[in-house]
Amino acid sequence: MEDSLIRVENLSVDYRPDQECPPAVSRVSFTLDRGASLGIIGESGSGKTSLALALMGLIKKPASAGGRIYFGDRELNSLTEKERNLYRWGKIAIVFQNSLDVLNPVLTVHEQILECLLRHTNLTGQAAAEKVLRLLELVGLKPSWNTYYPHQLSGGMRQRVLLAMALSCDPEVLIVDEPTTALDAIAKSEIVSLLLRLHKERKFALLVISHEMQIVAKLTSRVMVMYGGHIVEEGLTRDVLKNPLHTYTRGLIQASPALNPYLDLWGIPGESDQNSPEGCPFYRRCQQKLAECRTKGPLLEYISLERKVACNQGGIATLLLGRGLKKTFVFKGRAVKACDNCDLSVRSGEVAVLLGESGSGKTTLAGLLSGVLTPDMGEVLFAGEKVRGNSATCRPKGIQIVFQDPFTATNEHLSIAQVVREPLDILKLGSKGERMETVRQALKDVQLPADDEFMARKCHSLSGGQRQRVALARSLIMEPRLLIADEISSMLDPSTQANVLRLLKGLQNAKGFAMLYITHDLALARKIADRVYVMYQGRIIEDGSVVEVFDSPREDYTGKLVKQSL
């Protein structure tokens, strides 16, 4: 591309080239255009800083950097160290994180900026000293502060000094590595505003490296997501943050309090595992992994004009899809449209909330989606296959339902073990001993005792909250990919309700199943939903993210619900 200022081809960084370990950066390719802004996000250890060091030519032996890096039409790997030094400040500059460690503690602000000018420009004497003052003014520091030492400055002020040093040679590319880490909210806002202003005025290309999603959202127009040294997703920043296509990206967004002001925060389960060089780097933590993902590493490929994703399923898969669903009941000679042309989808690992008042058709729609009811018109697909009758509910890794009333959902004359084991007994899954061990684990998962005495108790001896946990254990014993929870907390007291919901969301996050949660409680929906569907008089009238639906409702009915819940 003729506008590309930086072009990276198959860049790899390996800190232990003599050992059989995956590299810190693995075959990364991208471009950065003149005046453009690009963000790189990911957890600590994902390879972001190593990529920046490679761009700066700062990977030193015994570590190695492979691939090609072009600045314009010049390949940087072919430069001598002297030529690299000229590029390093005159063409590409970096603002490192941990400003107190980067700045020399025994030099003043003036001396540190002046050193950059004397080493990398032709300025000398008074001209260099005057530019130091101009640079301080440029980044919002008073000229009198040029006599200060780093320890005398706040974190935000030290960050401005580093920025002044980076801009001292008028670079065409500026890399900022975690520019707001450890800063207070006011200092963060000031640094972001400063970077936006400088980027607009000086028109340098900006590369922002951060684990703070909201910072990248404010500073960049394009973003790349890194995990385990790989780019797993790329696209326009607004599109990636609004509609992530990789399960890892979704996890990062869900863990960001700035992007999810309502949602209870849950980190991505599991630890980063980079010991296996084969297969998908996110395999162990992925909520939709397939057997092939263990050995088949996905390529970063276009799935639309502006979007790339590295996933063997082409991104987050749609697990449940209901299209044009209609269901009419006849009551005393009168036809009642319980569902009227309803469309609904749930993606792998997603929590979708179906919201509406009593009688709006929520439970009927749940019955149609699970196959318990047969639609008059429309179809339901689960994992790409058409749902017919109990084809999705009477098998492992299918759909399971937890009903509203735990007292009618569990046979009070059966023991706890019999209730939980019932699906395994019906389907004859495993030996008797294996079934009992599975029951014990399911009870532990829902935080109930798993000893013989407890399992022998009859269900009628349990409280409402305990019976709901037993019903949940019975559903989870089938390892569902989708759990439909129909008003499961509405009959519980507030404390028990909170405990059950916290447990359910924790299990969903840890085990990775998708969930369709049905409720009339807006406050609850805010806490758990990734996506919200609003149902009214048999129709789905609105859907979107929690922020979209609750902060900017399109329908009057939704707005009325929101106001009544405040």
pLDDT of residue 270: 80
pLDDT of residue 1: 46
- The mean predicted confidence, pLDDT, of the chain is 92
> What are 71's two structure tokens?
């600045």
Strands (E), 129-197: 173-177
| Cβ-Cβ contacts under 8 Å for 514 (sequence gap 6 or more) | 319, 320, 346, 347, 348, 349, 350, 351, 352, 481, 482, 483
287, 408: one domain: no
433, 287: one domain: no
**Distance in angstroms (rounded) separating the CA atoms of residues 261 and 561:** 19
87, 142: one domain: yes
Whether residue 340 is contained in a domain is answered as no
370, 295: one domain: no
271, 393: one domain: no
406, 273: one domain: no
> What stretch of H or E contains 320?
strand 318-331
Domain range for 456 is 349-374+387-564
pLDDT (tens digit, 9 = 90+) per residue, 148-169?
999 999 999 999 999 999 999 9
Whether residue 450 is contained in a domain is answered as yes
For residue 244, cis peptide bond before it (omega within 30 degrees of 0): no
Whether residue 331 is contained in a domain is answered as no
pLDDT (tens digit, 9 = 90+) per residue, 458-476?
999 999 889 999 999 999 9
Low pLDDT (below 70) residues in the chain: 1-2, 273-277, 566
Whether residue 557 is contained in a domain is answered as yes
pLDDT of residue 38: 98
> What are 38's two structure tokens?
């690009």
38, 159: one domain: yes
> What are 51's two structure tokens?
């990529």
pLDDT of residue 97: 87
Count of structural domains, the chain: 2
Q: Are 460 and 407 in contact (CB under 8 A)?
A: no
The CATH number linked to 410 is: 3.40.50.300
Whether residue 435 is contained in a domain is answered as yes
pLDDT of residue 183: 87
Helix 125-138 to helix 109-120 angle (10° resolution) is 120
pLDDT of residue 274: 60
> What are 546's two structure tokens?
């929690």
Furthest-apart CA atoms within the chain: distance in Å: 98
End of a domain among 257, 281, 309?
A: 309
Q: What are phi and psi of 302, to 5 degrees?
A: -70, 135
122, 48: one domain: yes
Whether residue 357 is contained in a domain is answered as yes
Whether residue 488 is contained in a domain is answered as yes
122, 227: one domain: yes
List, in sequence order, every residue forming a beta bridge with 33; answer none if it has no partner.
Answer: 4
Whether residue 320 is contained in a domain is answered as no
How many other CB atoms sit within 10 Å of the CB of residue 75?
13
Residue 142 to residues 116, 118, 133, 392, 469: CA-CA distances in angstroms? Answer: 19, 22, 8, 68, 62
pLDDT (tens digit, 9 = 90+) per residue, 323-342?
999 999 998 889 999 999 99
90, 224: one domain: yes
pLDDT of residue 80: 86
436, 539: one domain: yes
290, 417: one domain: no
